[in-house]
């Protein structure tokens, strides 16, 4: 059977049987005619898995993964039609064709923007009296921002920190990650440690009442959505037009440490981002080594910010 004739028959069937729109039929035609032009044979019965694989391979140099997946979906239904109507062997039967997708690059925040953001919030903090409600709100916000950057913690992990999670004397934070997996991260910057202490003293009562370290304006545990909204607001106030999210602090934490020649094995441990396989092949990071790395190489030490 001729491939071009089969395509025509299939499109006719789609038109009257499936009641598809004209735009959909046109899109199907373009996709199937492209395959026809690129196929090594016009005989439907001779088209096999290798022909589909070759076609996918050629498309990967021309189209985006989403476009290729759409074309494959059309092809799969087309060959199912030929199998049902004419008994043609379906090259898609019991076969899955892998379409390579590029790994998305993590979005980071340039260091100068982090410095601008933190500096502006500190300036606002210092412009209010310590006894004021406004000072308390700004104190909480800057503490959240500094901790996101200091530890690379996920926003859900940050909001889940409890009074038992944080040792302010030694600067040790226990983080409960995905799947309940625990990890320890050290806060080694003196200014950040002072900030955490000031915050914990200011909000000691609601912290004790809830058991959670970060508290919102009504004394309830802080929620991830509130952190995201706060970050958008503070970024706007700092004149930063680009979108900034809490997770971008996590990516920036990892990327900047990597750029400072910190071994990727240590960064994996800091983030708690390893699978079972990576846990087996990566060496254990001792507390002393982690403290040494973050004390000497954390990019927070490069920022020139007035903190007291």
Active site residue 282: yes
The Cα–Cα gap between 9 and 6 comes to: 5
> How buried is residue 187: exposed, middle or buried, by Cβ count under 10 Å (0-12/13-18/19+)?
buried
Number of CB atoms found within 10 A of residue 64's CB = 12
* Strand 182-186 versus strand 166-167 pairing type: unpaired
Which of the following is catalytic: 273, 289, 291, 297?
273
Token code pair at residue 244: 């900034």
The Cα–Cα gap between 27 and 260 comes to: 50
What's the CA angle centered on 57, arms 56 and 58, to 5 degrees? 90
Which of the following is catalytic: 140, 234, 250, 298?
250
Which of the following is catalytic: 154, 183, 234, 298?
154
Which of the following is catalytic: 178, 205, 236, 243?
178
Which of the following is catalytic: 29, 70, 202, 282?
282
Active site residue 37: no
Token pair 């049987």 is found at 17
Active site residue 247: yes
Number of CB atoms found within 10 A of residue 149's CB = 25
Q: What pairs with residue 184 in β-bridges?
A: 174
What's the CA angle centered on 70, arms 69 and 73, to 5 degrees? 85
Which of the following is catalytic: 29, 107, 176, 247?
247
Contact 159, 221 (CB under 8 A): yes
Reported as half-sphere exposure (CB side, CA atoms, 13 A), residue 30 has a value of 10
Contact 193, 168 (CB under 8 A): yes
Active site residue 94: no
The Cα–Cα gap between 277 and 80 comes to: 39
Q: Point out the residues that are catalytic.
A: 154, 178, 247, 250, 273, 282
């Amino acid at each position: 059977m001729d491939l071009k004739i089969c395509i025509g028959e299939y499109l006719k069937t789609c038109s009257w049987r499936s009641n598809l729109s004209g735009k959909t039929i046109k899109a199907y035609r373009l996709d199937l005619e492209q395959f026809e032009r690129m196929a090594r044979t016009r005989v439907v019965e001779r088209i096999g898995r290798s022909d589909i694989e070759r076609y996918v391979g050629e498309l990967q140099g021309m189209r985006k993964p989403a476009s290729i997946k759409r074309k494959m979906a059309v092809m799969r239904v087309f060959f199912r039609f030929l199998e049902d109507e004419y008994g043609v062997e379906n090259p898609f039967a019991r076969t899955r064709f892998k379409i390579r997708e590029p790994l998305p690059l993590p979005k980071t925040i340039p260091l100068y923007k982090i410095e601008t953001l933190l500096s502006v919030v500190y300036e606002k903090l210092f412009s209010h009296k310590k006894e004021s409600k406004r000072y308390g709100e700004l104190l909480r916000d800057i503490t959240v921002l500094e901790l996101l950057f200091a530890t690379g913690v996920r926003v859900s992990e940050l909001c889940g920190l409890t009074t038992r999670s944080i040792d302010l004397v030694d600067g040790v934070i226990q983080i409960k990650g995905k799947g309940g997996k625990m990890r320890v991260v050290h806060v080694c910057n003196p200014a950040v440690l002072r900030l955490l202490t000031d915050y914990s003293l200011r909000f000691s009562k609601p912290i004790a009442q809830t058991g959670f370290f970060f508290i919102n304006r009504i004394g309830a545990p802080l929620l991830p959505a509130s952190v995201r909204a706060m970050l958008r607001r503070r970024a706007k106030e700092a004149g930063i037009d680009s979108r900034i999210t809490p997770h971008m602090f996590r990516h920036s934490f990892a990327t900047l440490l990597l750029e400072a020649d910190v071994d990727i094995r240590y960064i994996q441990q800091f983030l708690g981002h390893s699978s079972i396989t990576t846990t087996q092949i990566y060496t254990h990071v001792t507390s002393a080594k982690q403290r040494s790395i973050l004390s000497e190489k954390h990019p927070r030490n490069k920022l020139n910010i007035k903190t007291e």
